[in-house]
Amino acid sequence: MSKNPNSHYSPTLARLKPEARPGSEVVCTSCRLSLWRVTKSKLTCFCKEVRLISWDARQEPTLACDGHDDTPDENGAG
């Protein structure tokens, strides 16, 4: 999980066992624009900003993203 207590962490990922989660280097794990989805056989992440699957176990992880740094919190502040 994120080391910053003020940052976002997906409630879907939080319900998974640590070994089932992507590594902390994957910026999507702490991004409010990420929609994580769990099925019986896989975990995927859809990015609302770029409108594509931004993470799955078959592709290289996103390590940095402009959308992540500018993601507003729930109150609209950065």
Res. 76 pLDDT band, cuts 50 70 90: low
Per-residue pLDDT at 1 exceeds 50: no
Per-residue pLDDT at 13 exceeds 70: yes
Give the pTM: 0.73
Q: What value does the CA radius of gyration of the chain take, rounded to a whole number of Å?
A: 12
Res. 65 pLDDT band, cuts 50 70 90: confident
